[in-house]
Structure formats: structure tokens, C-alpha cells
Chains A and B, each alone.
Chain A
Amino acid sequence: MSTATPTRLRRSDRDRTMVTPEGIALPLTLASRGTRLGALILDLTFIVILMLVTTLTLISIAGGTAVLSDPAKNGPAVMHALEFLAVLWIAAMFLFRNAYFLFFELGPRGATPGKRITGIRIAARDANGTGGRLTAEMVIARNLLRDIELFLPLVFIASASDGGDSGAAGLAALAWFLIFAFFPFFNKDRLRAGDLIAGTWVVEAPKRKLEAAMSAPGKAGAAAAVPVSQYRFGEAELSVYGEYELQTLERVLRENRTEAIRQVYEAICKKIGWTPGETDQRAFLDAFYTQLRARLEAGMRMGKRKADKFG
């Protein structure tokens, strides 16, 4: 496995590594439980809205049919029409309940509308915790389990609270529901029961834009007008920092907030022993960034890496 360590600033226990067939390690971040809950609530809301709209439409059509036609003349025909509407309604309810998740998760984004909005998608989970090919069977399996995880106990709780006499049954349904609801808390990959059976997991689906190249002229602020050679930093001054600081500096430069730039400028000046007082702090930082990166990248090519200022 030729896995270079994925570079990123933030690390959490949700980070996983997926190895593509080409042997490239890709960082993967599992979706947080809160995000998934949010996505689920959104999807359920959409489903309820769909159900309501369909029901109201069919009812109004049925009402129209009943009013418009003369029952004495064409009674059976009206009955057939109404029955057809009833069939349509039952089929629609079944599909909304069972096919909504299937349809969207089989699509190219592997995500329901709720998941898209929250920026997550489903992915296949290999036996050893790396990525695999997502198949239709997986999507079906994980969504069939949704029935016992979610719909069944909810229906049960609802019907138990109606009856009043079935306190024990309601309690059992509640316990059932809680077991599955808290399932993702009891395994490190945050799998729900359906994920476990299907061999899937839910990951963040980041979409990044390609940012401008920092050292190329004409971008990243107005810095390039100033020739880079205006500031020259010595070996000793550049050797203070490592990759972590470089990337922090990169972020500050990209965000380009005056206050942050001033603070970083002063911190660097203090660290390398320069006297603050430059007027063009941005140009100073640009030059420092470029030279520090050139130095660290030259080291990389030689196989020497410096993780941070302590390294």
C-alpha cells in the first residue's frame, strides 16, 4: 500500500482512509451523527409533504369525479374511477415509504435530497474499512432495514399511545426504537443497523473549488505587483517554521482579512527578529510564504520534511 499521508490541517476520529484501486489513499470523513439526523429529518419532511400533496390531490380529484357525474346514470363507472384512485393512493404511499430513499441513493450522487443538502453521501465500506464499489444491492439492503429501525417502532408507538391500555407494548416499542436510534453510538464507524447489513457507511461529500495558485502573479490579493525580491529571508529565518505553520499562513492569506494579516505579520516578525513597521504587510507575508514554501518543498524533494515549528 503506497499510502502517502493525506495532508490536512484538521484531524478527528471521523477521518478514515480509503485506498483506490490505483493505490492512492484518499481521506474520507465520516458524516457526524448530527448531520445524519438532520438529513433524515429533512428527508422525512419531504416524504410527508409528498404524501400530503398526493393525498390532497387525489381527494380533490375524487371529490370532483363524484360531484360532476350523475350517480343514477353511471354509478359503476364512478365507483371504478374512485377505486382506481384508491389503488393509486395505496401504491403512492407504498412507494413514498419504500422507494424514496432507494431511488435517490441509487443515483450518481448516492444521496437523498436531505443528504445532498447536508453535504453527505453513502459509500461502500470494505471488510478492512477501506472503500469499495457501491452496488444496488447494498442500497436496497440498507433501506429495507430502515423499516424496522424507524417506521415500524414509530407506527407502533403511535398506535400504542392511541389505545391507552397497551403501556407495556408502547414501552417495548420505545425500547426497540431507542436501540436502533442509538446504534450509531456504539460502533466506531457510526453505522446504523442498515449500514452494517449492507456494508455501507455515510461520508461527507466535500466539493472544493480550485483556489488560485499562491505564487503565481496576478492573483491572491494585490501582492504580485511588488517584486518578490523586495524581501529576502535568510536560511535561519525560514528554518523557524514547518508545514503546519505554512498551511496556517496560507489560510490567512487566502482569507485575506486585514486584522488576521496584521496579527500574523507581527507574530512572524517577533519570531524571526525583524522590527515590525512595514507598510505593506500583505506583500511581506506573501514573500515570506513563497520563500518558506520553496524551502520546505526543496526539503521534501530531498526527503526531509518538517512538520511544524517543533519538528
Chain B
Amino acid sequence: MATQSPQSAIEAAALRSDRFRLEREGDWKRLESIVTKIEQGRLRRLSDEDVLALPVLYRTVASSLSIARETSLDAATLAYLESLTQRAWFQVYGPRVSLFAWLRRFLGGGWSAAVRAMTLDVLVALTVMVAGVAVGWLLVASDSEWYFSLVPGQFADARVPGASREILHDTIFGNDGKDPMSAFAAYLFSNNAQVSILAFALGFAFGIPSLMLLVQNTATMGAMLWLYNGQGLLLDFAGWLAVHGTTELFAILLAGAAGLHIGRSMAFPGERPVMQAMAEAGRRASQVMTGVVLMLVVAAILESFARQLIDNTPGRFAVGGFMLVFWLAYFFAFRGRSDGAATP
């Protein structure tokens, strides 16, 4: 009706509130079509004018809504305006970044800023991991039966207390003839990523299960270190681990720290309400966790390729050491363009 002769339709409307509505509904419908296009992901089909008009139209419709609430009793129009304002609000104030734009900002400083924001938790988690290694070592040293309860069966094939030096030596050297195991790498990654997501998510219970998970994993490592030390292979074993371990253990450390960060904010929210503290910690920790998944990709590649290709301890230490320095520099020296992305 309004399209045929808008002017006459507006004049013909009996109610002042309906005239108000007929005068403005062109803008409303334009906003609706823009929002619908955005919602359907057809951003490219939007003209530049429409993109520029979006915030203006949003404010127009929002102000129409406030006026209509005071002057109109047309429930259908009010409901329409409320729903339209809400839909436009989600687009105007939505996460205006695509996944890829976000990833760029994340790598360019958001991630390291988030890690720095939880330095305390990283230190606590590091302490716990070192303690876990020590506990594993000491337990097995006092009674070698502990080895079987600490080390899961898949690792305890030939690597058991009492194994000869040659057997142990063979487990860490001499694989260079084999093909790189890309399927194995993918499996390792998928498995480790699930474990670190678990370590993070368990932070929900005040962070204690996260720490327990860290202890349990590193105690295994302590027990195996003890085993190789018994045959004088400690350094070589450490090199074998270091290739991917500096990255993988760092990732697990960060995952545990992220879980602890949430647990700590629940237990000690400080001045803020608990819900807000948790949400802030959760957002920061989720950035760290995205990074952890990336680190585990790197670790899995190192584990199944670099370790096969480099068959000597100094070389392995060089790769592992380089990775460690790289991560430390990235997290604690690189400031990037963080522009507050880590602390929303």
C-alpha cells in the first residue's frame, strides 16, 4: 500500500501512531534486508552504501522503537521493531572479525599477551610439573614396582626396570632408516590436544584436577628418566625427549596453567563478582588454549619427523633448545600489536 502512493496512504491512516509508522517503515525495511543479507553470509552482495548505512539505520530504528514505545499501542509493530533492533544490534556490535582476521590478531600479539597475563599460573604449573617429575623419579627409585603403575602399558614394552643398556639404547636411536610417520604424528596431535583440552577444562573444578593431571603425566616422565639414568642414558633420553618435548611439555604446561587460571579466578575473584571474574579468565584462557593446540601440531610434527631424522643427542638438543628459546621469546619478549586483545 505504501509503495503505490506513500503520501496518500500516510494521510489516510486514521491514527497518528500509524502515520508515524508509515513514514518510517521504508528505513525499517531497508535495515531488515541488510541484516538479513549479513545473517545469510552474503556480505559481498551488500553495496558499499548499505554497509555505510547499517549503523545509521540501526540508530534510526532504535530511536523509532523508543518513540513507538511511548506513543504506539500497535503490538505487532513494537514486536517487529524490538526483533529488528535486536538483530541489527547483534550485527553492529557483533564479533566483527572473521575467524581468519581473528587468527591474525591472535598470532600478532593476542596470544602472547594472554600468556603473560597468567604468568603466575604458568609458574605454579611449572613448579607442579617439576615436582611431578621428582615424585615419579623418587617413587620408582625407592621401589621399582612403582614403575608399572606410573608408566602406561604402551610405553612399558621393552622399557622396563632391568632392561639392558642395549635395549634401552635401541629405543631412542637407530630409527633413521624408517619412513617419517605422518599418520602417527596426526594421531599424537589429536590425542595430546584432547588431553590438554581436558587439562584446561578441568580447571572448572577450582583448578585442582588440572594440577593432578599435570602431576600424573610428569610422574610418568620422572619414572622413565630414572630408568634411563640407571643405564647411564639419561642425557640421551633427555635429548630424545627434548626434540618435541620442549614444545609439547610447554603446551601441556600452558594448558594446565589456563585451567588453573580459571580455577584461581573462581576461588579468588578479588574485587569483581565471581561470574565476571570467571568469564574474564575463561576468555583469556581460551586464547591460550587455541595456542596450545597450535603448539601441539608443531610438537607432533617434530616428534615423528625431526626425531627420526636427527639420530644424535647434540642435534636433538639443538632442535629442542631452539624451540624452547623460540617459544620463550615469543611469549615473553615479543610484544607485537596486542592492543588489548588479550584482556577484553
CA distance A24 to B82 in the complex (A): 10
Q: Is A83 an interface residue, CB under 8 A from the partner?
A: yes
Could you tell me if A208 and B89 are in contact, using CB atoms closer than 8 angstroms? Answer: no
Could you tell me if B70 and A215 are in contact, using CB atoms closer than 8 angstroms? Answer: no
Could you tell me if A210 and B73 are in contact, using CB atoms closer than 8 angstroms? Answer: no
CA distance A100 to B22 in the complex (A): 43
Q: Is B152 an interface residue, CB under 8 A from the partner?
A: no
Could you tell me if A210 and B202 are in contact, using CB atoms closer than 8 angstroms? Answer: no
Could you tell me if A86 and B183 are in contact, using CB atoms closer than 8 angstroms? Answer: yes
Interface of B with A (CB < 8 Å)? 1, 9, 12-18, 21-22, 25, 28-29, 32, 38-39, 41, 43, 59, 62-63, 65-66, 69-80, 82-87, 89-91, 93-95, 97-99, 102, 179, 182-183, 185-187, 189-190, 193-194, 197-198, 200-202, 204, 262, 272-273, 275-276, 278-287, 289-290, 344
Which of chain B's residues have a CB closer than 8 A to the CB of A9? 75
Could you tell me if A108 and B41 are in contact, using CB atoms closer than 8 angstroms? Answer: yes
CA distance A205 to B35 in the complex (A): 13
Could you tell me if B276 and A20 are in contact, using CB atoms closer than 8 angstroms? Answer: no
Could you tell me if B76 and A254 are in contact, using CB atoms closer than 8 angstroms? Answer: yes
Q: Is A185 an interface residue, CB under 8 A from the partner?
A: no
Q: 0/1 per residue, A151-180, Cβ < 8 Å to B?
A: 010000000000000000000000000000
Could you tell me if A144 and B21 are in contact, using CB atoms closer than 8 angstroms? Answer: no
Whether A133 contacts B94 in the complex (CB less than 8 A), given A210-B29, A290-B14, comes out as yes
CA distance A159 to B99 in the complex (A): 35
Which of chain B's residues have a CB closer than 8 A to the CB of A144? 197, 200-201, 286, 289
Q: Which residue of B lies closest to A85 (CB)?
A: B183
Could you tell me if A213 and B74 are in contact, using CB atoms closer than 8 angstroms? Answer: yes
CA distance A208 to B290 in the complex (A): 37
Contact of A4 (CB < 8 Å), options: B41, B70, B86, B290: B70
Which of chain A's residues have a CB closer than 8 A to the CB of B71? 297, 300-301
Whether A123 contacts B283 in the complex (CB less than 8 A), given A90-B186, A297-B17, comes out as no
Contact of B15 (CB < 8 Å), options: A2, A86, A93, A290: A290
Query: Which interface residue of B87, B201, B278 has the most chain A CB atoms within 10 A?
Result: B201
Whether A208 contacts B75 in the complex (CB less than 8 A), given A137-B284, A148-B204, comes out as no
Contact of B282 (CB < 8 Å), options: A27, A199, A246: A199
Question: Which of A32-40, A57-65, A216-224 sits within the interface?
Answer: A216-224
Could you tell me if A83 and B17 are in contact, using CB atoms closer than 8 angstroms? Answer: no
Could you tell me if B201 and A148 are in contact, using CB atoms closer than 8 angstroms? Answer: yes
Q: Which residue of A lies closest to B89 (CB)?
A: A20
Q: Which residue of B lies closest to A99 (CB)?
A: B99
Which of chain A's residues have a CB closer than 8 A to the CB of B66? 2, 4, 24
Return the 6 tightest CB-CB contacts between A and B, nearest first.
Answer: A199-B279, A197-B282, A141-B286, A137-B283, A148-B201, A127-B276
Which of chain B's residues have a CB closer than 8 A to the CB of A217? 1, 9, 12-13
Q: How far is the CB of B194 from chain A (nearest CB, A)?
A: 7
Which of chain B's residues have a CB closer than 8 A to the CB of A211? 76-77, 80
Could you tell me if B286 and A87 are in contact, using CB atoms closer than 8 angstroms? Answer: no
Whether A145 contacts B201 in the complex (CB less than 8 A), given A213-B18, A214-B74, A228-B14, comes out as yes
Q: Is A110 an interface residue, CB under 8 A from the partner?
A: yes
Which of chain B's residues have a CB closer than 8 A to the CB of A7? 69, 73, 75, 78
Contact of A141 (CB < 8 Å), options: B13, B65, B275, B283: B283
**12 A-B pairs in the complex with CB atoms less than 8 angstroms apart:** A7-B75, A28-B86, A84-B182, A91-B186, A133-B93, A138-B279, A138-B282, A144-B201, A147-B201, A208-B76, A213-B77, A214-B15
Could you tell me if B183 and A83 are in contact, using CB atoms closer than 8 angstroms? Answer: yes
Contact of B1 (CB < 8 Å), options: A108, A193, A216: A216
Whether A294 contacts B15 in the complex (CB less than 8 A), given A91-B186, A144-B286, A216-B1, comes out as yes
Q: How far is the CB of B330 from chain A (nearest CB, A)?
A: 19
Q: Is A121 an interface residue, CB under 8 A from the partner?
A: yes
Whether A139 contacts B95 in the complex (CB less than 8 A), given A24-B85, A215-B18, comes out as yes
Could you tell me if A210 and B201 are in contact, using CB atoms closer than 8 angstroms? Answer: no
